[in-house]
Amino acid sequence: MNIIITGAAGLLGSHISRHLLSKGHKIIGIDNFFGGYKDFLPKHNNFEFYNLNLEKDIQGITDIFEKHGPEVVYHFAAYAAEGLSPFIRNFNYTNNVLASVNVINACIKYKSKLIFTSSMAVYGNQQPPFTETLPQKPIDPYGIAKYTVEMDILTAHEQFDLRYNIIRPHNVLGIYQNIWDRYRNVIGIFIRKTLNEEPILVYGDGEQTRAFSDIKYYIEPFDRLLTDKFNGELFNIGADKYFTLNEVAETVQLIGLKYGYSASIQHGAPRHEAKHAYCDHTKAKNMLGFKDETNLVELIESLFVWAMNQPNRKVKNIEYELTDGMYEYWQ
């Protein structure tokens, strides 16, 4: 198949691209390197890449669809900084909603099947584990953006017969992850801090719970979505087992010590976030053959070792649209 993967230089995009290339598909990657890196792109004869901003370059998107006539589009591109999203509302909606709308338009026009990664942020602060049947109650602009795109896809399905599936992943970990972003990927931030022997900063009391999973368990379900057997379905994917952020911080600290890096653990002001957030994955297990056997300690150690061998990339600051209520650690 000819398959477009947006966000190909990011965590999910780079892994799913590699997998689908290994199965003989032609992959057309799109990314603007806002959150991913050129080094993370696969090097393969069947991989063609376009450096393009999905928010703005509608003609560029049309040209790519016209040239390649993709059967399937995995739309991963996004800036998934949930905690920062209230301070970059305009950018958040432009990046997460309008860029997605440009992809949706092209999928309708070229009759491509769309696989969209939403987020468990759509559930907000409800009682976990979240099942797909819960009403969406996002508590921040990032969650609202994902919810909006889900609704837009649903209406495109009903009116234009757009074929689609939506995955709501959560807390995925793996190599080719951006650990140089100050605003997102808690374990990536803890690892970078430890490698620089700076304090690991836990927001709030650290008793928030999250479930982290290895990217390798995402490959099979994403692969199965290629077929038309699944259409109009919504799945949670991620780990069942959850940990407190204090436990995670201590794990990273211990792994750091094992490799000769010493970092203290400190606590900062609590963030506006769901206290406990993890999902039920029964549907993906039953329908997509999903199984998660993540060993978090081993997974963090493998990521730590990978990070040790990465260049010390620059950590960028993002221009805030609002500074009201901005946390001290992001000032």
Ligand X SMILES: NC(=O)c1ccc[n+]([C@@H]2O[C@H](COP(=O)([O-])OP(=O)(O)OC[C@H]3O[C@@H](n4cnc5c(N)ncnc54)[C@H](O)[C@@H]3O)[C@@H](O)[C@H]2O)c1
Query: Using CB under 6 A, which of the segments 74-82, 84-92, 272-280, 320-328 binds ligand X?
Result: 74-82
Residue 171 engages ligand X in binding (rule: CB under 6 A): yes
- Token couple for 282: 């029964």
Q: Omega of the bond prior to 129 within 30 degrees of 0, cis?
A: yes
Residues paired with residue 209 on neighbouring β-strands, in sequence order = 244, 276
- C-beta of 262: minimal distance to ligand X in Å? 28
User: Residue 200 or residue 279: which is nearer to ligand X going by CB?
Assistant: 279
Count CB atoms within 10 A of the CB of residue 90. Answer: 10
- C-beta of 313: minimal distance to ligand X in Å? 13
Residue 141 engages ligand X in binding (rule: CB under 6 A): no
- C-beta of 15: minimal distance to ligand X in Å? 8
- C-beta of 282: minimal distance to ligand X in Å? 19
Q: Alpha helix (H) ranges present in 225-294?
A: 245-258, 282-288
- C-beta of 323: minimal distance to ligand X in Å? 23
Residue 165 engages ligand X in binding (rule: CB under 6 A): no
User: Residue 117 or residue 253: which is nearer to ligand X going by CB?
Assistant: 117
User: What is the total count of residues that contact ligand X (CB under 6 A)?
Assistant: 30
| Cα 129 → chain centroid | 19
Taking CB atoms, the residue at the shortest distance from ligand X is: 10
Residue 46 to residue 229: CA distance in whole angstroms: 26
Please choose, from the candidates 55, 47, 9, 11, the residue with its C-alpha nearest in 3D space to the C-alpha of residue 222: 11
Residue 174 engages ligand X in binding (rule: CB under 6 A): no
Residue 129 engages ligand X in binding (rule: CB under 6 A): no
User: Residue 60 or residue 199: which is nearer to ligand X going by CB?
Assistant: 60
Residue 138 engages ligand X in binding (rule: CB under 6 A): no
Residue 91 to residue 317: CA distance in whole angstroms: 14
In three-state secondary structure terms, 140 is coil
Count CB atoms within 10 A of the CB of residue 132. Answer: 17
Count CB atoms within 10 A of the CB of residue 263. Answer: 20
Contact with ligand X (CB under 6 A): which of 77, 84, 153, 226?
77
User: Residue 119 or residue 136: which is nearer to ligand X going by CB?
Assistant: 119
- C-beta of 129: minimal distance to ligand X in Å? 15
- C-beta of 108: minimal distance to ligand X in Å? 19
Residue 274 to residue 252: CA distance in whole angstroms: 22
Residue 106 · residue 62 · CB < 8 Å? yes
In the window 94-123, what residues touch ligand X (CB under 6 A)? 95, 99, 117, 119
The contact mask relative to ligand X for 272-301 (x = CB under 6 A, - = no) is ------------------------------
Residue 114 · residue 71 · CB < 8 Å? no
Residue 129 · residue 79 · CB < 8 Å? no
User: Residue 238 or residue 261: which is nearer to ligand X going by CB?
Assistant: 238
In the window 6-35, what residues touch ligand X (CB under 6 A)? 7, 9-13, 30-35
**Sign of the C-alpha dihedral computed for residues 106, 108, 109 and 114 taken in this order:** positive
Residue 79 engages ligand X in binding (rule: CB under 6 A): yes
Residue 261 engages ligand X in binding (rule: CB under 6 A): no
Non-local (6+) Cβ contacts of 278 within 8 A are: 120, 128, 129, 130, 170, 209, 210, 211, 238, 239, 240, 242
User: Residue 175 or residue 267: which is nearer to ligand X going by CB?
Assistant: 175
Residues at the contact surface with ligand X, assessed by CB under 6 A: 7, 9-13, 30-36, 53-55, 76-80, 95, 99, 117, 119, 169-172, 178
